[in-house]
Amino acid sequence: MNVELALECAPGIASVEPAALETAAIAALRGAGQDSEPVYEIAVRLVDADESARLNGHYRDKPHATNVLSFPAGAELPGLVVLGDLVICMPVIEREADAQHKSVDAHLCHMVVHGVLHLLGYDHIGDDEADTMEALERRIMAELGHDDPYRARAHD
């Protein structure tokens, strides 16, 4: 499976290793049963809390920073699927990772998996949808060698 991941970091946000994000994206695509033939294109922007809050307010009418926003493109060309964009708020990722007693890398990986599933059309608005999506995320994260990403939340 081939993923072209374009990574951009907002000013003041430390860069991360793109290969780790690509690995998470590939695992999400495989876990969701996507065809291995086309090239999948994904853009990831790592942002601060202010940018996340602006985007979340504009697109979701929720004017606060959030961990990940997904913007599906849904464009297909011969041999290429442009999935869309993920906007990941690093201060939120860091805060959540600390609160959930997990590494920032593991939580960032989870947010890439979660975001890619959103780009593919998965959602968690209803209970059944949430159960399906979370089960898929758990399986994908386990395949990547990470603990259950929802375990900490279950013990709150």
pLDDT, tens digit (0-9, with 9 covering 90-100), for 21-65: 999 999 999 999 998 889 999 999 999 999 999 999 999 999 999
- Token pair, residue 18, equals 């793109």
| pLDDT tens track for 103-136 | 999 999 999 999 999 999 999 888 899 899 999 9
- Give the whole-angstrom CA distance, residue 77 versus residue 75: 7
Question: What's the rounded Cα separation, in Å, for the pair 1 and 39?
Answer: 7
The partner residues of 46 in beta bridges, in order of sequence, read 9, 88
Rounded to whole angstroms, the Cα distance separating 83 from 107 reads: 21
Nearest to 113 by CA among 8, 42, 37, 12: 42
Q: Taking the model in full, what pTM does it have?
A: 0.93
Q: Which of 123, 122, 89, 132 is nearest to 107 (CA)?
A: 89
Domain annotation for the chain: domains and CATH numbers: 2-154 (3.40.390.30)
